[in-house]
Structure 1
């Protein structure tokens, strides 16, 4: 199944709040920020990032039966917006 790319604007909000989910807490460097997020707000291990950070893979493995891809994108974008508040 080929999915259109997730519309990430690379703001770093999700990577700056890894402490908020049990699934990403192991990535916390101690202040809620992912230990792989660099000063340029980029993932220093992007090509080898953990499966939990691969949104298309997470969709296919865990959410494809519950949501369409467009619905899944919409839900994730709502979370993105809420992290900015």
Structure 2
């Protein structure tokens, strides 16, 4: 799978929008495991919901093509960037 993350950190700075990540919220929406340089401190052991490839295998593989899944993830990423970089 070719989902190219540019490590902007926006998705990890707004986890308060994701109920499954409630326990990782530092209280301001930022993941407690996001370092100052926008890298995940628990990357190899991160939750499945933080792993694009793993989520595809677990929940989407039988319903959508890999190409379409990556396209939709890129689109969601772009929407987050537009929303939070333009504020």
The alpha-carbon deviation at position 12 of structure 1 amounts to: 0.7
What is the aligned residue count? 82
The alpha-carbon deviation at position 11 of structure 1 amounts to: 0.9
Whole-Å Cα distance in 1 between the matches of residues 75 and 3 of structure 2? Answer: 13
Q: How does 1:5-84 map to 2 (within 5 A)?
A: 5-84=2-81
Q: Which runs of 5+ in 1 are unaligned?
A: none
Whole-Å Cα distance in 2 between the matches of residues 34 and 23 of structure 1? Answer: 12
Q: Which runs of 5+ in 2 are unaligned?
A: none
More helix by share: 2
Runs of 4+ in 1 over 4 A off after TM superposition: none
- Coordinate RMSD, CA, aligned: 1.2
